[in-house]
């Protein structure tokens, strides 16, 4: 399932895009959880890091879509953004916020479907692999995008999941690093492996995670982390 947020201050455009998304679900087999916002202000109130895709009108009253996108990026979100605009000259400005694409009004179904196919294909690759863990006689599988960070405590390894729970794991941290590195995980310390998707900030001797955790950062790994994080965000 993909969480999609549509924000446009024109009712006719909102209704049209919503109907197209329903058609795309039937055609593609994808499941979409769609949230509708009528203004940039409502978008900022309702937005959360759980959204996968934002279909955003650029020209809105009071708070424009472009300024809303800037605020979302400044808060650390890498949600995929497809701008909807009647004026193609805004496309250059959209690169500032790493927009995935642009749709010109009036939006046509096939153009939207092509962009949705591209963005969901990319997101599926980003979600990455599954990690199979065993705790005693219990075996569970977790998608890499369910994991926020991993730590070693004594002889035990724990997965810290995005839902706030913690799962003991018998797999060594080095093996988890090998499995998860292609899915955006980085070893910040001999005892910690973090998802760069969930990384909020890199500090002097720690990193801050989206769940509020402050984790130790090895000084020998800091520069490599900064470069890897920039590359992960498409800035390098």
The dotted CATH code for 130-232 is: 2.40.50.1020
Q: How far apart are CA 198 and CA 214, in angstroms?
A: 12
- pLDDT at residue 88, as a whole number: 65
Reported as half-sphere exposure (CB side, CA atoms, 13 A), residue 16 has a value of 14
Q: What is the dihedral of CA 139, 142, 148, 149, to 10 degrees?
A: 40
pTM: 0.59
Q: Distances from the Cα of 80 to the Cαs of 54, 77, 207, 226, in angstroms?
A: 6, 9, 24, 22
Q: What is the residue-level pLDDT of the chain in tens, covering all 236 positions? A: 899 999 999 999 999 999 999 999 999 988 999 999 999 999 999 999 889 999 999 988 888 899 999 999 988 888 999 999 877 666 566 667 888 989 989 999 999 999 999 998 888 777 767 787 776 777 888 888 899 999 999 989 999 999 999 999 888 999 999 888 878 899 999 999 999 989 999 999 999 999 999 999 999 999 999 999 988 876 54
Comparing CA positions, the residue from 61, 11, 2 lying closest to residue 37 is 11
The dotted CATH code for 2-127 is: 3.40.50.2300
**Could you tell me if 200 and 209 are in contact, meaning their C-beta atoms sit under 8 angstroms apart?**
yes
- pLDDT at residue 213, as a whole number: 96
- pLDDT at residue 72, as a whole number: 93
User: What is the domain partition of the chain in residue ranges?
Assistant: 2-127, 130-232
């Amino acid at each position: 399932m993909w969480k999609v947020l549509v924000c446009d201050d024109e009712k006719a455009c909102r209704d049209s895009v919503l109907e197209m998304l329903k058609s795309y679900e039937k055609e593609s087999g994808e499941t979409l959880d769609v949230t509708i916002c009528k203004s940039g202000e409502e978008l900022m109130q309702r937005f959360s890091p759980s959204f996968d895709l934002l279909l955003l009108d650029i020209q809105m009253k009071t708070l424009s879509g472009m300024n809303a996108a800037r605020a979302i990026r400044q808060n650390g979100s890498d949600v995929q953004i497809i701008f909807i605009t009647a004026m193609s000259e805004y496309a250059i400005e959209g690169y500032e916020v790493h927009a995935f694409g642009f749709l010109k009004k009036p939006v046509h179904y096939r153009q939207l479907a092509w962009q949705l196919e591209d963005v969901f294909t990319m997101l599926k690759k980003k979600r990455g692999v599954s990690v199979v863990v065993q705790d005693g006689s219990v075996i569970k599988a977790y998608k890499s995008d369910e994991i926020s960070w991993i730590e070693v405590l004594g002889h035990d390894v724990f997965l810290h999941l995005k839902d706030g729970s913690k799962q003991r794991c018998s797999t060594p941290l080095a093996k988890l690093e090998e499995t998860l590195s292609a899915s955006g995980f980085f070893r910040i310390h001999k005892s910690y492996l973090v998802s760069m998707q969930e990384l909020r900030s890199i500090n002097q001797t720690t990193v801050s995670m989206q769940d509020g955790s402050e984790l130790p950062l090895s000084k020998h790994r800091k520069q490599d982390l900064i470069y890897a994080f920039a590359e992960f965000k498409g800035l390098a």
